[in-house]
Amino acid sequence: MNELKNDRYLRALLRQPVDVTPVWMMRQAGRYLPEYKATRAKAGDFMSLCKNTELACEVAMQPLHRYPLLDAAILFSDILTIPDAMGLGLYFIDGEGPCFHQPISCLTDVQQLPTLDPENELRYVMDAVRAIRCELAGSVPLIGFAGSPWTLAAYMVEGGSSKNKDFTKIKKMMCTEPKTLHLLLDKLAESVRLYLNAQIKAGAQAIMIFDTWGGLLTTEGYQTFSLQYMHKIVDGLYRENDGRRVPVTLFTKGGGQWLEEMAKTGCDALGLDWTTDIAHARHRVGDKVALQGNMDPNILYGSPERIRQEIATILGNYGEGNGHVFNLGHGIPQDVLPENVEAFVKGVHGLSRQYHQSVNDILAPSGTILLS
């Protein structure tokens, strides 16, 4: 594998010195880019795009071609590839999101779920990882990812996106058939562990677990049905590959109240949504983990000046020192202007340099960081 030319993102996740705060965006390869829309039209539909190695690689690279200051690439895929490979029959409806032909409704359904071999049933994902790593040629790290067991289960039991976002079916199962739900979550945790380890072996250099719906739960429910299963996954992941540490980031949308407990899982970083103050978050977790986030994605509808103002506020709130990856608090909206994204990416690098002065004081004339 090629040696990394820009490892800011990995350094920041490991709370090591960097010259500027690294930046990438959740859903950075996506519908806000006209070139993405053209490639998706060529593929025919979303899942066909995900399963086409050449096109999945193309869309993963598109934001880096347009915004060369991005500090990481992310695998182009979907969090629901695992339930699809388990036979639930994933499909997408415009305006409604993901749906399943065969949702989970009872214990028998859970018992019949197969154990996955990622290099078999999900080979197209691993092929995409390998292709993107090759195309990156060591320019920036590649992020692999999966959905959390709770989030996957929420979609699987509901049969797709809950129209009112209440997810009442899985909450009913949680209250009336907890053993069935725990069996489902246990199976999913093992599948996610295998899936992420296969991504690491294929070339992913950092891992992120998206717990999109963990914030629906009570504190006790979160500990019992979400966090403990993410903890199992973290415990079972390869943490080194190609001679480097493979950092792991946990992101629970709406999970700002549980940061201390999340940090105890052994992960390297926590993702923050925009409802959590990053200064308070840093104070709470100390130097245990890095933090990723957390600009409100809607700020990208504003002017370049407004975007820079918000970047400056977040950087100032985090303060000097290591351990911050700049990102949005959730995925980028599909109708954001691409030029606003450019202002965002440039703004993070330009405004953050002052917070890493100790590193910039030892820069070589070429701008290369003189660190091992």
Is 284 marked as a binding-site residue?
no
Is 334 marked as a binding-site residue?
no
Pairing of strands 206-211, 142-147: parallel
Q: Mark whether 78 is an active-site residue.
A: yes
Q: Mark whether 355 is an active-site residue.
A: no
Is 29 marked as a binding-site residue?
yes
Straight-line distance from the first to the last Cα atom of the chain, in angstroms, rounded to the nearest whole number: 18
Residue 286 has which token pair? 């100390």
State the residue for tokens 């190609």: 242
Rounded to an integer, what is the distance from CA 225 to the centroid of its chain? 20
Q: Mark whether 284 is an active-site residue.
A: no
Is 212 marked as a binding-site residue?
yes
CA dihedral over 345, 346, 351, 357, signed as positive or negative: positive
Q: Order of strands across the sheet with 290-292?
A: 73-74, 142-147, 206-211, 248-252, 269-271, 290-292, 324-325
Under a CB-based contact definition with an 8 Å cutoff, are residues 72 and 141 in contact? yes
Is 349 marked as a binding-site residue?
no
Is 215 marked as a binding-site residue?
no
Residue 192 makes CB contacts below 8 A (sequence gap 6+) with 82, 146, 147, 148, 149, 152, 209, 233
7, 71, 78, 211: which one is catalytic? 78
Q: Mark whether 40 is an active-site residue.
A: yes
32, 67, 155, 222: which one is catalytic? 155
Is 205 marked as a binding-site residue?
no
Q: Mark whether 239 is an active-site residue.
A: no
31, 244, 245, 306: which one is catalytic? 31
Q: What is the DSSP-derived secondary structure letter of residue 258? A: G
Task: Please list the active-site residues.
Answer: 27, 31, 40, 78, 155
Q: Residues annotated as binding site for substrate? A: 27-31, 78, 155, 212, 330
